[in-house]
Structures are given as C-alpha cells and as structure tokens.
Amino acid sequence: MTLKQVDYVFELIAFLFAISFHESAHAWMASRCGDPTARMLGRITLNPIKHIDPVGTILLPLIALISHFPMIGWAKPTPVDPRNFRNAVLDDIKTAVVGPVSNFVIAVAALLFLIAIALTSHLGAGIVNLIPYVYPGRLDLLANQTNSFLMPLSLLAYEFMVMNILLGVFNLIPIPPLDGSHVLRHFLPETALRAYDTIGWIGLIALVYFAPGLLGRLIDPFLGIFDSALLLVTRAH
C-alpha cells in the first residue's frame, strides 16, 4: 500500500470522526438548552453509525476516493425541536454554532499533537515541517524521507487538522442549511426569510460544485494560520 492510499484511509477516518464530533456537539448543546430530542435518539455519541447519511457519509466520500477529489460530505442532520428551547433565538444560535466550534477544537488539538511530535526529536520536527509543503499532491516525497512510525502518525494528525478546519469553516458559511445560516436568519425579516430558506440549497450546490475556488479562498486563510503556527514551532526547534 502506497502512502497516498494510506492517506485516503486517514482522510476517511478524520472525516468520520469530524462529522460525528460535530453532530454530537449539536445534540449535546440542544439537550443543555432544553431540547432532549437528539439525546433521546442516541445522537450524543462519537459512534459514526449513529450519524451516517447514505449520500453524504457513504456515497460522496466513495466518489471522492475513486475520483481522487477532496473528501466532502455530511452526516445525518441532528434533529432539533426549537419549541423546547428556553430562549428560542439564543439557544438556536448556540446549538448551531457549537458544531463548527467543536471542529476547531479538534483542529487545535491536532495542531498541539503535531507540535508535540516536532518537539520530540529532530526527525519529528523534520517530518512535521515537511508535511504542509507536500500535502496533498506530493506525498511520495514524504514517503522517501523515513520509515519511522512518526511519519504516518504525523500525517494522520495533519489530516485531522485539515479536515476539521474545512468542516468548521464550511459550516459557518451563512447559506441554508449550514450552521451559519442559523445565525443570519434571526436578523432577517419574515418575507426575506422565506426566500432565504427556499434558495439556500441552490446556493449551497452552486458554492460547492460551481465555485470551488471561492470555497478554497474561504478555507485557505484559516489553514494558513494553523500551518504558520506549526512551521514556526518546528523551525524554532
């Protein structure tokens, strides 16, 4: 198995964990805000089986694997009944935003783990320093560097960081049904709200499939911040 094939497996692992953590965070916050719906359905769990959507979690990642496209997809939406919230507006916003926030928490944890690897040895620092430059298209250069277990371990952690940054930023975009729309919609008048919800899916499809460059420009600055922090530490070491 080549390193690129190993990375596909790592990407899938990171994807499943990221969406499970994301949806579990939604369910947890909804429960804290007074809505037990998702908790009663067993959605406060990292078990990906509870969050699988046939299209978003199985079909699209499979297509990405076969076509060598970036991993993209979604989990089964967390069921929420806003009528149970103690504060309808604030609790809806909190329940929505906690999903992307949870992804950034994982991304920071992965960054700290990579920094720890870099601080263990010069070999670790060299591997961690190289990954941002060769990811994702030139992983063969990484494979030629060393057979150390630190190499796949670092690559897995980097996949966790990238995947969670991608999902965190993507879900904050204020296009229905993404989490960011739950913030913006509370500031729209009723007439605009109906149109906003109606054209949301069209806007989402257009963004993902017809304007991937725009999506990349939204995500790249955040990834750049994490990469800069990582490289700053490894070079200092």
pLDDT in tens, 46-56: 999 999 988 88
Question: pLDDT tier at 158 (50, 70, 90 boundaries)?
Answer: very high
Question: pLDDT tier at 212 (50, 70, 90 boundaries)?
Answer: low
Does residue 37 or residue 207 have the better pLDDT?
37
- Rounded to whole angstroms, the Cα distance separating 185 from 197 reads 9
Mean pLDDT, to the nearest integer, of 196-216? 74
Question: pLDDT tier at 74 (50, 70, 90 boundaries)?
Answer: confident
Q: Give the count of domains, the chain.
A: 1
Kindly tell me if the per-residue pLDDT of 87 is higher than 80.
yes
Pairs from 143-147 (Cβ < 8 Å, separation ≥ 24): 143/2, 143/3
Helix (H, G, I), strand (E, B) or coil at 223: helix
Query: Considering only CA atoms, which of 85, 98, 66, 69 is closest in space to residue 180?
Result: 98
> What residue numbers bound the domain in which 79 lies?
3-236
* The two three-digit tokens of residue 27, written as one number: 């369910």
Query: Considering only CA atoms, which of 130, 115, 105 is closest in space to residue 230?
Result: 115
Please state, as a whole number, how many other Cβ atoms lie within 10 Å of the Cβ of residue 119: 14
Mean pLDDT, the chain, as a whole number?
87
Please state, as a whole number, how many other Cβ atoms lie within 10 Å of the Cβ of residue 181: 22
- Rounded to whole angstroms, the Cα distance separating 172 from 169 reads 5
- Rounded to whole angstroms, the Cα distance separating 135 from 154 reads 12
